[in-house]
Structures are given as structure tokens and as C-alpha cells.
Amino acid sequence: MIDTSKADIVEVLAGAQATNIDIRVNRHEDTYSVTGRVVDDETGAPVPGTNVTLMTARGDGGFSSAFTGTSTGADGKFNLLGLASGRYGVYVSSDYSSAGVYSDPIYFEVVDKDVSGLEIKATQGSSISGTIAGENIDLRDVLAQLPELQVSANVFPKDMRVNGSTIRSSGRSKVQADGSFQIIGLRPGRALIGVSNRDASQRPTIVRIEKDGVVATQGFEIGPGQSVAGVRVVVAFGTGVIRGTVKFEGGTLPDGYQLDISCWREGTRSFAGGASADARGRFVITKLAPATYECTLEMLPFGPTPSQRPPKPQKQFVNVVNGAEVELNFVVDLNAKEGGP
């Protein structure tokens, strides 16, 4: 906390130099460290190369994930610094880790000293492997344009909460030159597949996901320690452009809102792209594959809660072809009685 009562005024004259200005920073003596190790739940052997996630207690008695620490060493040890007194939990997951393990959280309390000797028992996770295929483009061309293409999996366990804590499970894999991928360390549950690229402005659209020859775009179940192979992710990638404007009737954009346009491939849950309109209401969305898209305009709040309710979202369908621009315009009637949620 800054104590302004102890502040002094420093006068600096033109061409002069102010000297003997000392700034003292107080150390926080009431923070502690937490140490422990991660071991295999079956063999007891240390698990190197996995990250420990710290959870902090909330006021409602549950916990929320705070941050992920550095990777464990060859001896499986971890060290978390700078913790104040309070209740915490720690666990490991496949997120940002190549160890392929996960664990349930263990809980502890920091009172007035360092905590040591914690032991997290990690379980070998499930895996998902398969291939990427192009719908309207050869795979080699996809990878040439998207060299950092990745496939991700987000798993939603049947029991999403442990002692009031939401335990997430996800993993990702870079797509290899032959189109293959493998994601490891996942919890059992329902897996949803996605694709991403380091450059978010250039990303393919998922057309469909197949498992054992059956369409599974809405996800599929994976069991404990199960290896799910043969998943096929069909993607589309293109050069289509949506360009448009947002106009208002009965006024101007209310303070505290921004205009966001998001487009989804028709009939799928695949996000294709989006943009925020500028001060003149103009927007452009690029790198779209040939398809019909459902585009939604929303007025989203930012900063302090606006006093005026936004109009309800608007949706329009637009057909996109490669190498061409299509126009998409929205008109917002601010005199409409029906407001947003």
C-alpha cells in the first residue's frame, strides 16, 4: 500500500539537477515459501518436467487457480515463493507441460512459516492422436501457410469440481509435417477439439471432426488412461474477406460499449473470425474459407458498468468465396424497446 502522507515535493528548475532523492522500498516480511515434490502415484518415482498450479481460497469456500509455477526438476521437486498467510491448493495438469500427467489437488494452509514436504501424486493421463486434413486445400499448402498450426483438446470431467474447485484439463500438440498430432496427459471426461495458430489472424476453420469414422464435432468421451487414436480433423482455410459497417438510428454508440462482430461457420461450433468496429463503425474480417457464416453483432461493455442497457445482438448470414470481399452491414435502432440481457 502507498502511504501518500510520507511523500515529499521535489522541485526541479530549468537546467538544474535534483540530487539526494532517495526512494526506500519496504520489504514484505510476511510472505513464505512452499516446497514439495511430484511423484508417480503407482511407482513413487519423481516426475520431472511437469508444472505445479497454485490455487487460492475464495470467500465462498472454494478455490480458484492462481498461477502455474516452473517445471519440476529431475528429482520432481517444486518451490513456490511469496505466499501470504491463507489457504491454498496445488495440483499438476497437462497444461503447458510435456510430462503427460495430472493429479487431484492437495490442500494446505500457510500460517506464519514456510511449508515443506508436500507430495503430489500424479497419474498418467489419457491421450488423443490423429491427423489433420484439408477440405478445400491440400494439407501441404495449409502447413506452408500455417507452420505453427496446433491441435488442442479441452476436457470437461463429469465431476467438474473438487472441494469447490474447478479442475480444468487441456493439452495441445503441434501438427507435424505429415499432418499427425498427439495430445497427452488428459483427464477422463468429454473432450472438445480445437485448432489454433500463433498468428491468430491466420487460422483454419474446423469443418468436422471424425472419430472411428463417425462425426464427433460436438466432442467425445475419453476414459482413464485411454489412448484414443484415429481422430481426423478436417479444416478449411481461405482468402475470403468480410467488410462492413455498423450504423445507428436514434443516437450514437452509448458510452462504455464497444462493437464486436464474430462469425461462425454455419451449422458448426467452429469460430471463423471476428473484429471490433472502429470509431466510424467500420470493420473487416480476413482469411476466411469458402462457406456460409453466421455473424453476430454485440455491444459489449468495457470499464465501469454502463448505465444504459445495450440493444439485443443481431445476426446475419453471409456467403464467402475465396479471393473476394463480401459486404455486411448492421443497423442498430437505439429507440427499440427491447434491451439485451
Q: What is the pLDDT of residues 78-112, one digit of tens each?
A: 999 989 999 998 998 877 677 889 998 899 999 99
Do 131 and 231 reside in the same domain of the chain?
A: yes
Do 294 and 317 reside in the same domain of the chain?
A: yes
Q: How is residue 141 annotated by DSSP? A: H
Do 257 and 326 reside in the same domain of the chain?
A: yes
Q: Is 19 part of a structural domain of the chain?
A: no
Do 271 and 181 reside in the same domain of the chain?
A: no
What pLDDT, on the 0 to 100 scale, is given for residue 135? 84
Strand-pair partners of 30: none
What pLDDT, on the 0 to 100 scale, is given for residue 165? 54
Q: Is 13 part of a structural domain of the chain?
A: no
Do 218 and 246 reside in the same domain of the chain?
A: no
Do 223 and 246 reside in the same domain of the chain?
A: no
Do 204 and 265 reside in the same domain of the chain?
A: no
What pLDDT, on the 0 to 100 scale, is given for residue 175? 95
Supply the pTM of this predicted model: 0.69
The residue range of the domain holding 289 is: 240-333
Q: What is the pLDDT of residues 123-179, one digit of tens each?
A: 999 999 999 998 878 888 888 888 899 999 999 877 655 554 557 678 899 999 999
What pLDDT, on the 0 to 100 scale, is given for residue 4? 45
Q: Is 2 part of a structural domain of the chain?
A: no
**Among 236, 263, 297, which residue terminates a domain?**
236
In this structure, how many other beta carbons lie within 10 angstroms of the beta carbon of residue 57?
17
**Among 97, 124, 151, which residue terminates a domain?**
124
- Reported as a pLDDT band with limits 50, 70 and 90, residue 341 is very low
Q: Is 3 part of a structural domain of the chain?
A: no
**Among 68, 96, 124, which residue terminates a domain?**
124
d(Cα 198, Cα 215) in Å, to the nearest integer? 27
Q: What is the total count of domains within the chain?
A: 3
Do 112 and 198 reside in the same domain of the chain?
A: no
Do 194 and 92 reside in the same domain of the chain?
A: no
d(Cα 76, Cα 124) in Å, to the nearest integer? 15
Q: State the average pLDDT for the chain.
A: 84
CATH number, domain with residue 294: 2.60.40.10
User: 267's torsion region: left (phi>0), alpha (psi -120 to 50) or beta?
Assistant: left
Q: What is the pLDDT of residues 3-48, one digit of tens each?
A: 545 556 655 555 555 565 666 554 456 899 999 999 999 999 999 9
Do 245 and 201 reside in the same domain of the chain?
A: no
Q: Is 203 part of a structural domain of the chain?
A: yes
| Pairwise pLDDT comparison (131 vs 251), residue with the higher score | 131
Do 119 and 131 reside in the same domain of the chain?
A: no
